[in-house]
Amino acid sequence: METGVSGPRIVVGVDGSPSARAAVRWAARYAGLVGGGVDAVAAWELPGTEAWSAPAVDTDFDEENARQRLTEELREALGPEPGSVRALLVRGHPAEVLLRAAESAEILVVGSHGRGGFARALLGSVSQHVAQHASCPVVIVRAATP
């Protein structure tokens, strides 16, 4: 996953949560400071596809709709001109997708917790997993509280 930017590559996880939007803003500011580019990565997987039983949900996944939602999420976080941010939609478990994407990155940026899990948890499962297993430094960004 290489970008056309010659500077450092920053990977940021995007999942639609407030902390992910804060992470996207942090990554874009950091990229501006170091002259790098941002790969904004959203992962998708069909529930049940990795398990022994058949999926309990409709397996029709609208990839184009997901790409549009990712683009809208980046616009909401960064405005109409996202700069050197490349949107990537990748199939797989979010933690594994982010770890693969960050293999040659300078830094991996994630929100403190995503859309699932317990609201009071200090870290979500994905942010905790990537913090423990990433091959590059990890920044975990919390959403601003009102």
Write the pLDDT tens digit of every residue in 7-39. 899 999 999 899 999 999 999 999 999 999 999
pLDDT digits (tens, 9 = 90+) for 75-125: 999 998 877 899 999 999 999 999 999 999 999 999 987 655 444 445 678
Query: pLDDT grade, residue 45 (50/70/90)?
Result: confident
More confident call, 60 vs 134: 134
Q: How far apart are CA 100 and CA 108, in angstroms?
A: 11
Q: Could you tell me how far CA 103 lies from the centroid of its own chain?
A: 14
Greatest alpha-carbon pair distance for the chain in Å reads: 48
DSSP 3-state of 65: helix
- Which strand ranges, in their side-by-side order, compose the sheet holding 138-141? 85-91, 37-44, 9-13, 107-111, 138-141
Whether the per-residue pLDDT at 59 is higher than 60: the answer is: no
**Is pLDDT larger for residue 113 or for residue 134?**
134
At 117, phi and psi to the nearest 5?
A: 80, -165
- Comparing 113 with 1, the larger pLDDT belongs to 113
pLDDT number for residue 4: 53
Dihedral sign, Cα of residue 115, residue 69, residue 27, residue 96: positive
pTM across the whole model: 0.82
pLDDT score of 1 more than 80: no
Average pLDDT, integer, range 129-135: 95
